[in-house]
Each structure stands twice: as structure tokens, then as C-alpha cells.
């Protein structure tokens, strides 16, 4: 959508409007850490559901180069939540009171986000809702202290069908189907490794509160380092590399003697660091692999497989009754295989987000045999 790219430049590719969106989206991510890793201290877990509407907000109001930065900042807020969690759990041992203290502020945050967060203008255009998109564009430009020329807004036309995409559109096209299947396994492997290490935090030989704090602390430089690494190495190489290195770190724990808890914790920290970086990479890479019209469906499908990985992680841990090495072998081999499969995906770099899926090509020409037969006929 070339016209929208020009409009972004007029609005300001990363002005006050975009910075405010990123800051606002960081707040809920802090509370997400309390939910997804709270089982480490509470021994229980509450169901949570995948809603990818917010994905549209943090990347589609900025250009491709800023999308990585926005994703990294949002995920970094999750790491700060991880560092806060052991302190809250230590000060409030009663799990009911801890849940109230941790999640009551989230209700107010979600209400504010519902009323304040804007829709994606790019998505509105693909749905044929040009008037709403133009209104939001003018609002963003006003916040950034910029003006968008009216002639540029008039040229903002729909370049493809206005029909909303669905999950079947992904599987009807071979290139999208291939990307979805590989990314499903990549998200699954990332989540299995990440939460497998998280729930085993008390088995590494050091204090559980200290280890959890270290796990959260190392994620901050890991996430911030992901930003330049994605630009230098590329999305495909970095995602594959972090998955493989993280898997190898998990496998190495199997061979370390139990009387060396510091060494075990260091290798677990390396695995946690790489898995955190991979989680940022898969968000960025997945968003660039899917066109806008099916992006939410694609990432939602990938996130579902990530949740499956999170569900299976504690179940895999139960396999240690047969042999203590089985859980870490599973946590390690799965991301290694996923990393190898990611090499089959295309490199997206800093390319602009695709808005529409490539059309399905139908062969309307007769086969050579039919043509030859027709030539022989009088």
C-alpha cells in the first residue's frame, strides 16, 4: 500500500502518537507476566485467552524499521513484570491476596486501553472503511504536530478486495500454508522451551526467588539486543539461531552434575535468554510473513500453538518420574527442530508489510497432450 507509506511519512513515522501507543501497550504486558508465570510460586494457573487485536496497534502505525523497536519495547515490559513477580510473591505468601494485589490494577488498565487505543488505519483501508481511516490519520497527524495534504488522502484508495480474510485463506494459498505450518511449530517450540525452563526454576539448585529474578533480569538485555541483531543478521537467521542455541542449552543441562547448581543455572539462564529473544523475533517475523488481510488470523493461529506448548510444558516435566533427563531432552530437541525448519522460510528484512495475499493462480491453458490432439484433428 504505497499511498499509506507516503502518508506515514507525512504523519511522522514515529512521533508522539506512536510513542504513546507503545507506552500504553507496555502496561498490560507487565501484568501478563504475573499470570503466565504465577504458577511458579502459586502452584496454580488461571485460563487466559489469545486476543491479537493489539498486534495491529504497535506495528501498523509505524514503518517496517520501527515495527521491531515497538515489539521489543512491549516485550521488555513483560520482563519487568517477571522481575517484580518474585518480590510480590515473597512479600505476599497468601496466593489469594497476591492475586488481588497483582491483578486489580489490570481492570482499570484494560478499561483505559479499550477507550484510548485507536484501530489500525491500514486495516480499516483493507476493509473498505476509508472515512474512518482518514479520520484516524488526521488525528495522528494532529498529535504529532504534522499536516497530511488533502490530495494525498484523496489518493488513498483500496487496492484489493474489501472482504475480510479468514483462516481458510491461509490454507488455500500454498506459500501462506507453508509459512503458517512452520511458524506454528516455531511458536510451539519457543513456548515449550520458555515455560519449560520457567516452571523448573526451583529445580536448578538455587533460591527460587533469586533464580526467577535473574530469569527476568536477563530478558531485558536479551530483548534489547534482539533489535540490532534482527537488523544485522536478518529475521530468519536470528530466529533459527536463537531456537537452536536455546535448545542446545537445555540439552547441556542433562550432562551437568547436580552438585554444580551455579553451572546449571547459568545454562538455564542462557536458554531463558535465547527463548525470550526468540519470542520477540517470532512476533516480528510472523507479522511480516502474513498480509494485513489475514495477519490477525495467522498470528492468532501461531499464538494458539504457543499456548499448546505452554500447556504441555508442565506435563512434560512429569516425565521425570521415568528419567530425570527426559524433560530437558524434550525442551531441547523441539526448538532445535523448529530452528531448522525456519531456514525454509523467506527473509523479510525491513520490507513493508504486505496488505493483500497473492492471488491464487489457476491454469487456464490446456495441457500439451490436448493441444497436440487438437492439431491432429482435421
Mean pLDDT, the chain, whole residue set: 77
- Average pLDDT in the 281-293 region? 85
Go through the domains of the chain in sequence order and give each one's CATH number: 2-342 (1.20.1250.20)
- Average pLDDT in the 336-362 region? 77
pLDDT, position 350: 65
Cα-Cα-Cα-Cα torsion 321, 324, 325, 328, nearest 10 degrees, comes to: 80
Q: Which one is predicted more confidently, 120 or 181?
A: 181
Give the rounded percent of residues in the chain with a pLDDT score beyond 90: 21
State pLDDT tens for residues 44-67: 333 333 443 334 444 556 666 676
Q: Is 257 helix (H, G, I), strand (E, B) or coil?
A: coil
- Average pLDDT in the 232-261 region? 92
Task: Please tell me which of 71-80, 105-114, 187-196 the model is most confident about, judged by mean pLDDT.
Answer: 187-196
Nearest Cα residue to 111 out of 206, 169, 28, 36: 28
CA 317 to chain centre: 25
Buried b (16+ CB within 10 A) or exposed e, 316-345: bbeeeeeeeebbbbbbbebbbebbebbeeb
Q: Confidence band (pLDDT; 50, 70, 90) for 39?
A: very low
State pLDDT tens for residues 4-22: 667 777 777 677 777 887 7
State pLDDT tens for residues 190-243: 999 988 988 876 666 667 777 778 777 888 888 888 888 888 899 999 999 999
Q: Confidence band (pLDDT; 50, 70, 90) for 163?
A: low
Record the pTM. Answer: 0.65
- Average pLDDT in the 170-191 region? 93
Q: Which one is predicted more confidently, 308 or 357?
A: 308
Nearest Cα residue to 4 out of 357, 359, 296, 355: 355
C-alpha cell at 151: 490530495
pLDDT, position 363: 42
Give the rounded percent of residues in the chain with a pLDDT score beyond 70: 76
Q: Is it the case that residue 338 has pLDDT exceeding 50?
A: yes
Nearest Cα residue to 82 out of 40, 25, 51: 40
pLDDT, position 166: 75
pLDDT, position 3: 62
Pair 178, 298: CB distance under 8 Å = no
Nearest Cα residue to 344 out of 275, 279, 274, 289: 289
- Average pLDDT in the 244-268 region? 90
Q: Is it the case that residue 327 has pLDDT exceeding 90?
A: yes
pLDDT, position 60: 57
Alpha-carbon gap, residue 73 to 23, rounded angstroms: 8
pLDDT, position 26: 77
Amino acid at each position: 500500500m504505497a499511498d499509506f507509506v507516503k502518508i506515514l511519512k507525512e504523519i511522522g513515522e514515529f512521533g508522539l502518537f506512536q510513542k504513546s501507543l507503545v507506552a500504553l501497550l507496555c502496561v498490560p504486558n507487565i501484568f501478563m507476566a504475573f499470570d503466565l508465570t504465577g504458577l511458579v510460586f502459586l502452584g496454580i494457573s488461571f485460563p487466559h485467552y489469545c486476543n491479537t487485536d493489539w498486534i495491529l496497534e504497535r506495528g501498523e502505525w509505524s514503518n517496517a524499521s520501527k515495527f521491531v523497536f515497538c515489539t521489543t519495547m512491549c516485550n521488555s515490559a513483560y520482563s519487568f513484570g517477571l522481575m517484580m513477580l518474585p518480590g510480590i510473591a515473597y512479600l505476599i505468601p497468601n496466593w489469594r491476596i497476591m492475586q488481588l494485589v497483582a491483578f486489580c490494577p489490570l481492570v482499570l488498565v484494560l478499561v483505559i486501553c479499550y477507550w484510548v487505543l485507536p484501530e489500525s488505519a491500514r486495516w480499516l483501508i483493507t476493509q473498505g472503511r476509508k472515512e474512518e481511516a482518514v479520520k484516524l490519520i488526521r488525528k495522528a497527524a494532529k498529535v504529532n504536530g504534522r499536516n497530511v495534504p488533502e490530495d494525498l488522502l484523496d489518493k488513498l484508495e483500496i487496492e484489493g478486495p474489501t472482504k475480510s480474510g479468514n483462516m481458510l485463506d491461509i490454507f488455500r494459498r500454498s506459500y501462506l500454508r507453508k509459512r503458517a505450518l512452520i511458524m506454528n511449530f516455531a511458536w510451539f517450540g519457543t513456548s515449550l522451551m520458555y515455560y519449560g525452563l520457567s516452571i523448573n526454576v526451583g529445580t536448578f539448585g538455587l533460591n527460587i526467588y533469586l533464580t526467577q529474578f535473574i530469569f527476568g533480569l536477563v530478558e531485558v538485555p536479551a530483548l534489547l539486543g534482539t533489535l540490532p541483531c534482527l537488523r544485522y543478521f536478518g529475521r530468519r537467521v536470528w530466529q533459527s539461531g536463537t531456537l537452536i542455541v536455546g535448545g542446545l542449552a537445555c540439552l547441556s543441562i542433562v550432562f551437568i552434575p547436580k552438585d554444580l547448581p551455579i553451572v546449571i543455572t547459568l545454562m538455564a539462564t542462557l536458554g531463558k535468554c535465547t527463548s525470550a529473544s526468540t519470542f520477540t523475533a517470532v512476533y516480528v517475523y510472523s507479522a511480516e510473513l502474513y498480509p494485513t488481510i489475514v495477519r490477525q488470523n495467522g498470528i492468532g493461529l501461531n499464538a494458539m500453538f504457543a499456548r499448546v506448548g505452554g500447556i504441555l510444558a508442565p506435563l512434560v516435566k512429569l516425565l521425570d518420574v521415568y528419567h530425570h533427563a527426559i524433560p530437558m531432552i524434550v525442551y531441547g530437541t523441539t526448538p532445535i527442530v523448529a530452528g531448522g525448519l525456519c531456514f525454509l522460510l523467506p527473509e523479510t528484512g525491513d520490507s513493508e508489510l504486505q496488505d493483500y495475499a497473492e492471488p491464487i493462480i489457476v491454469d487456464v491453458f490446456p495441457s500439451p497432450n490436448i493441444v497436440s490432439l487438437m492439431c491432429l484433428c482435421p
